[in-house]
Structure 1
Amino acid sequence: MDRITLQERTKLFHIGVIQLCNLLPKNAAGFELAKQLIRSAGSVGANYRATKRAKSNNDFVNKMKIIVEEADESLYWLEIINDTKMIQTDELQQLLKEANELTAIFVSSLKTLSQTKQRS
């Protein structure tokens, strides 16, 4: 997958999360979940975008590690919303799938980077 496509996917993921969070109940649990999920989903896209400006290979790897953590955290919050049945929509299921795929893509990228670095 090319960089532009992945950058667009991470941006659309964040937008989808924002739209989903608008459906959460307007109570303490809903507000907290929305806050955590919007922050982590936004961090995925923002940090992926920031990899273009990495100052070194180590800086690039560190940014990728943050992306993996934030993508996995986003998946966690989406799972909590799903498991508590706060929202039951097709959009939630699509975001769960996308969070899982994005996490897998970035984990795979990090593994490839690590293997490439070891060969050098």
Structure 2
Amino acid sequence: MINKPYDLEERTFLFAKDCRLYIKTLTTTISNIEDGKQLARSSGSVGANYIEANEKLGDKDLIFRLKISRKEAKESKYWLRLLQELNPEQKNHSESLLYEIEELRKILSAIITKTSK
């Protein structure tokens, strides 16, 4: 496994970038275009909302932003799974993205749990 950056802002940025690179490899079909747009949006929102969480206005705002980030991670996983099913020739690439988004979701959940206490 490749060493991942400890900085979560950087890690979420790299995930969004890798999703865009993955989308570029897909064949041009209506479903790949539409699902790819959804993945591009949600994957970018994971990091964007995490950055907003770091600029919190209070603990409630922090938790709210982190939950949005986690929600976007779950959505990204959905679109990745759908694209993977329809593009089995890209399975190696999508598998690594699915692994990473699940790791990010777990990290976000852990932060939410610790912050909520």
Of 97-106 and 83-92, more deviation after overlay is shown by: 83-92
> Which residue pairs with 1:23 in the alignment?
25
Q: Structure 2: which 5+ runs fail to align?
A: none
TM-score computed with the length of structure 1 as normaliser: 0.86
User: Counterpart of 1:14?
Assistant: 16
1:53 equivalent to 2:52? Answer: no
Check conservation: 1:23, 1:87, Cα contact below 8 A: no
Match of 2:45 among 30, 43, 46: 43
Distance 1:81 1:27 in 2: 11
For 2:115, the equivalent position in structure 1 comes to: 113
Which residue does the alignment assign to 2:87? 85
Distance in structure 2 (CA, Å) of the matches to 1:51 and 1:89: 33
Q: With structure 2 as the length reference, what TM-score do the two structures score?
A: 0.88
Report % sequence identity: 34
Structure 1 gaps, min length 5: none
Mark the CA change 1:60 to 1:33 in structure 2 (over 3 Å): closer, same or farther: same
Aligned length: 113
Cα RMSD after superposing both structures? 1.7
Name the counterpart of 1:66: 68
Q: Specify the code of the residue in structure 1 equivalent to 2:71.
A: E
Distance 1:44 1:103, change over 3 A: same
Runs of at least 4 residues off by over 6 Å: none
Deviates more, 1:3-12 or 1:30-39: 3-12
**Is the alpha carbon distance of 1:34 and 1:71 closer, same or farther for their aligned partners in structure 2, counting shifts above 3 Å?**
same
- Cα distance, 1:84 vs structure 2: 2.3
Question: Bigger radius of gyration, 1 or 2?
Answer: 1
